[in-house]
Amino acid sequence: MLGNLMHMKYFIIIILCICALVFLYYENNLITVTEIIVKSPDLPDAFDGYKIVHLSDLHSSLFVFQPAMKADDISYDDDIKLLYAGPYVDYGPFKSSEPKLLENIPRYIFPYTDQRPFIKDGKTYLPLRLIFDILGYQVHWKKDDDSITIYNEQEKMILNTSTKTITAGDKVFDVPLLLMENRYFIPLRDFSKVTGDSIMWDGDTRTVIYVKKGSSFIKPSVTITKVEYKKGRYSAEVKCIIKNTSGEIIPQNKLVAVMDTVGGQSLTFATDFYRNRDKDISINELIPVSFFVDRETYKILIVGVYDRDSYLEGINFLVGDLP
């Protein structure tokens, strides 16, 4: 009786060993990898000529190869401009007054050189953090975590950098993220589909017009038609051309450009940046202006004609000797 039990024990052990060998054979030889993501700038741009010799703990997990782009893979020669229309909280010159919520304020956005908008494969991209900051979202992002929580008082979204998806409520949206120099870039049009915002393209001035959901776009009487960047050691000089596209002569002292820095010392419109103090401005006349933008900041520039563009009346800035 004891001998039979011993034989049965050895038989079971042999069967288990055979099952284990069969499992290992199929696990190592017949597994099909359908999608791979690897977030590392040190990997080659393709796996051609390379052999994967070991994948630990793969099983049914998602392993994705996503080569990081290099800075010189992006061309900023397209002179793309970003005009954003949406709510803005105004604190007055040098935070001298109670905060006031202003609606439908169109403003041009000028980030530092490596955060400018660019076009790739027909899509306009901006850095994740920049677009979230412009649109008024808070961001919660832990190091080495693929999930980014994006939220404000009205909504919450989860962006997964591995699967390149955004989950908003019960809906999941695909977003073709780009990774460049440890910074993620997101296409504006794809993100606007998630938030319900509107986006337009002005081909004449090569301007992306982004309108926040619930806001209206009031077209300024003057337009920025050209932008050039000159990168310095700690800041970049931005040269712009403002064109009188109002169809009328702009009287002396009526052209106004107000600006300020976001991310630096100031968060309010401190003073007017430019006014035509010396002369009238004829139809289609070009006015050159320049300013500097520092790293990790961006400039807001609002242009318009005083007494014509209604959004200027709501901004509490120093008007100097305006009548």
Q: Would you mind telling me the total number of residues written for the chain in this entry?
A: 323
Is the model more confident about 43 or about 252?
A: 252
What was the pLDDT predicted at 189? 94
d(CA 246, CA 228) in angstroms, rounded, equals 23
Confidence of residue 164 (pLDDT cuts 50, 70, 90): very high
Q: Cβ distance 125 to 118 under 8 Å?
A: yes
Q: What is the 3-state secondary structure (H, E, C) of the chain?
A: CHHHHHHHHHHHHHHHHHHHHHHHHHHHHCCCCCCCECCCCCCCCCCCCCCCCCCCCCCCCCCECCCCECHHHCCCCCCCEEEEEEEEEECCHHHCCCCEEEEEEEEEEEECHHHCCEEECCEEEEEHHHHHHHHCCEEEECCCCCEEEEECCCCEEEEECCCCEEEECCEEEECCCEEECCEEEEEHHHHHHHHCCEEEEECCCCEEEEECCCCCCCCCCEEEEEEEEEECCCEEEEEEEEEECCCCCECCCCEEEEEEEECCCCCCCCEEEEECCCCCECCCCEEEEEEEEECCCEEEEEEEECCCCHHHHHCCCECCCCC
What was the pLDDT predicted at 295? 86
Confidence of residue 40 (pLDDT cuts 50, 70, 90): very low
Token pair 């006014």 in the structure block, residue:
275
Confidence of residue 43 (pLDDT cuts 50, 70, 90): very low
Quick one: which of 104, 135, 302, 316 has its CA closest to 218? Answer: 104
The answer, yes or no, to whether residue 77 has pLDDT greater than 60, is yes
Quick one: which of 305, 306, 319 has its CA closest to 223? Answer: 305
d(CA 146, CA 158) in angstroms, rounded, equals 10
What was the pLDDT predicted at 266? 47
For 248-260, the pLDDT digits (tens) are: 999 988 888 888 7
Task: Look up residue 248 and give its two tokens.
Answer: 């009328």
Rg (CA), the chain: 28
Select, from the ranges 25-39, 72-86, 261-275, the one with the highest average predicted confidence (pLDDT): 72-86
Average pLDDT rounded to a whole number, residues 285-292:
92
What was the pLDDT predicted at 322? 43
The angle at the Cα of 164, spanning 187 to 45, to the nearest 5 degrees, equals: 85
Task: Look up residue 226 and give its two tokens.
Answer: 């050209």
Q: Cβ distance 115 to 180 under 8 Å?
A: no
Enter the pTM of the model: 0.74
For 91-118, the pLDDT digits (tens) are: 766 667 788 888 999 999 999 988 899 8
Q: What is the mean pLDDT of the chain?
A: 79
